[in-house]
Chain A
Amino acid sequence: MVDSRGKSSGFPAWGATATSILNGCIGDCLTDRVRGLAIDMAFYGRGKRLTSTADSLRAEWGVPTGKLCVLLDDLCCHEGFWNYPDDPARSYGSALRDDLGYTPLFLGDNTGLSIPYSGKSLDMLLEELLLACPEPVDEIILVGHSMGGLVIRGACHYGAERDAPWVRLVSRAFYLGTPHEGAMLEKVAHLMTSVLRAVPHPVAALVGDVAGRRSQGVKDLRDGTTVQAADFSDAVPWLASAQHYLIAGTVTEDPEHLAARLFGDGLVHPPRAGDNVRLFPGLGHMDLAHDEAVYGQIRTWCAST
């Protein structure tokens, strides 16, 4: 497993980034055939992998708080992507710990696996964490960047379905640039792959086949899939016991600009306006994970009753 920024494993930092990208692109294949590079889902705190035992968690947190903040990163990213580029020691997790007393937990996982599978795994991991926590947990907030937001919704669905104790503790969920209605880029990729496969030329078919090998996680982004169709055929409801907040960006300062309308934040279109929706014009998709204005909004919502 590659830990945050690859510091303690002896694996170089670019290695952690390359492994995360590889997992995002062909992660399901890695899990099936090349175990050595597949990232196992686990929580991270201060750059170290956390094992779900009370002693390990106490050693990591020192004096733990009863408020947990779980952060899920995007496709092809690792937990180091939450760090501010100009201040690597700061992230939404560390800021929420300093300002509001939340204990941050960064989830690292194989983002190429299907989103429903990751949601189920997160459901189980949160249950294990809750059992292992050295102090009683009063509140959990979830912060998901892009694909991470879909995994949150999947985990909440599966957790609520079996009445998992952790679900009752979730007070707020934040979705940063999450493609709830599907990602345009993957829709285009799906169309291109279908066209290439339909062209009666062996080279076109070969390119189509290679493109078709992209991970299930990427393919799930097309429709914003959060649970398996076999598990739930209707639109997946949002966890009723929690508040949900949507944060989005646009590529231009003017959200009405044609480029913003066409490309959204570069990868995902912003959601429709609403009470718990906040748009940050001029903020690109990746910037949503480490921007002071976005953090300010999250803190304001967290502090509100």
Chain B
Amino acid sequence: MELETVRQIRGAKELVEEAVDAAAARISEVQRVMTRKPYAVLALVTPIAVPLRAIEEAHLHIVDGVYFAIRLGNRLAGLMAGYALDRLEARARGKPAR
């Protein structure tokens, strides 16, 4: 594989990685805002306000956890792809891979 092709594939990998990370971060924010809305309405009912807050916090932690897992998985996949591309690049340059 030519060096130029490896460079382009690396660029595509970085773009996908950046896009997934940015999208996950932004959608997470939006989901947090939307998640809070029904809880804010229900919290007006005084007897359930205290347990509701605990449920809301747990819900938000789950939401955050899901997006954290997506971003972490994305970064790990990016690292592995980067490692594979390093080997391809080394081969294209005619040097032994580290």
> Contact at B14–A36, with CB atoms within 8 Å?
yes
Q: Are B10 and A36 in contact (CB under 8 A)?
A: yes
Interface size on B, residues (CB 8 A): 19
Digitize B1-38: 1 where CB-to-A-CB distance is under 8 Å, 0 elsewhere.
11011011111101100100000001101100110000
Docked Cα-Cα span, A15 to B9, in Å, equals 10
Interface residues on A, range: 20 to 34
Q: Hey, which chain A residues are within 8 Å of B11, CB to CB?
A: 30, 34-38
**Does A19 interact with chain B (Cβ within 8 Å)?**
yes
User: In the complex the two chains form, is B14's CB within 8 Å of A34's CB?
Assistant: yes
Closest chain B residue to A9, Cβ basis = B4
Contact partner, B27, options A9, A36, A37, A206, Cβ 8 Å:
A206
Partner of A36, one of B1, B8, B26, B29: B8
CA distance A33 to B18 in the complex (A): 9
Question: Chain B interface secondary structure, helix, strand, loop or mixed?
Answer: helix
A206-B12 in contact (CB<8A): no
Contacting A37 at CB < 8 Å: which of B5, B12, B26, B34?
B12
Contact indicator A10/B2 (Cβ below 8 Å): yes
Q: What 0/1 readout, one digit per residue, does chain A (188-225) give for beta carbons within 8 Å of chain B?
A: 00000000000000110110010000000000000000
Tell me how far the C-beta of A1 lies from the nearest C-beta in chain B, rounded to whole angstroms: 7
User: A202-B34, A206-B27 known; A11 and B8 CB under 8 Å?
Assistant: yes
Q: Which one of A1, A33, A38 lies within 8 Å of B4 (CB-CB)? A: A1
Kindly supply a per-residue 1/0 record for chain A positions 1-21, scoring 1 wherever the CB is within 8 Å of any chain B CB and 0 otherwise. 110000001110001000100
Nearest Cβ distance between residue B44 and chain A, in whole angstroms? Answer: 20
A34 vs B14: C-alpha distance in the bound complex, in angstroms? Answer: 6
CA distance A30 to B4 in the complex (A): 16
A203 to B26 Cα, complex, angstroms = 10
Q: Are A11 and B4 in contact (CB under 8 A)?
A: yes
Q: In the docked arrangement, what's the CA distance between A38 and B12, Å?
A: 10
Which residues in chain A, 14-58, are within 8 Å of chain B measured between CB atoms? 15, 19, 22, 30, 33-38
Instruction: Report the bound CA distance from A203 to B2 in whole Å.
Output: 43
The smallest beta-carbon distance between B30 and chain A, in angstroms, is 4
B60 → chain A, closest Cβ, in Å? 15
Question: Residues of A contacting B4 with CB < 8 Å?
Answer: 1, 9-11
B7, B12, B33: which contacts A202 (Cβ < 8 A)?
B33
* B33 close to A36 (CB less than 8 A): no
Q: What are the residues of chain A within 8 A of B27 when measuring CB–CB?
A: 206
Residue pair B30, A10 in contact (C-beta under 8 Å): no
What separation, in Å, do the CA atoms of A206 and B24 have in the docked complex?
12
| CB of A203 to closest CB in B, whole Å | 6
Distance, CA A37 to CA B8, complexed state (A) = 5
Q: Considering the chains assembled together, what is the distance between the CA atoms of A17 and B62 in angstroms?
A: 41
> What is the CB-to-nearest-CB distance from B84 to chain A, in angstroms, rounded to a whole number?
15
B2 to A: closest C-beta gap in Å: 5
Q: How far is the CB of B4 from chain A (nearest CB, A)?
A: 5
How many angstroms between the C-alpha atoms of A259 and B43 in the bound complex? 55
Partner of B12, one of A1, A36, A203, A209: A36
A10→B92 CA distance, assembly (Å): 13
Let me know if A206 and B2 touch, CB within 8 A. no
Chain B minimum-CB-distance residue to A35? B11
Minimum C-beta distance from A33 to chain B (A) = 6
- Give A residues with C-beta under 8 Å from B: 1-2, 9-11, 15, 19, 22, 30, 33-38, 202-203, 205-206, 209
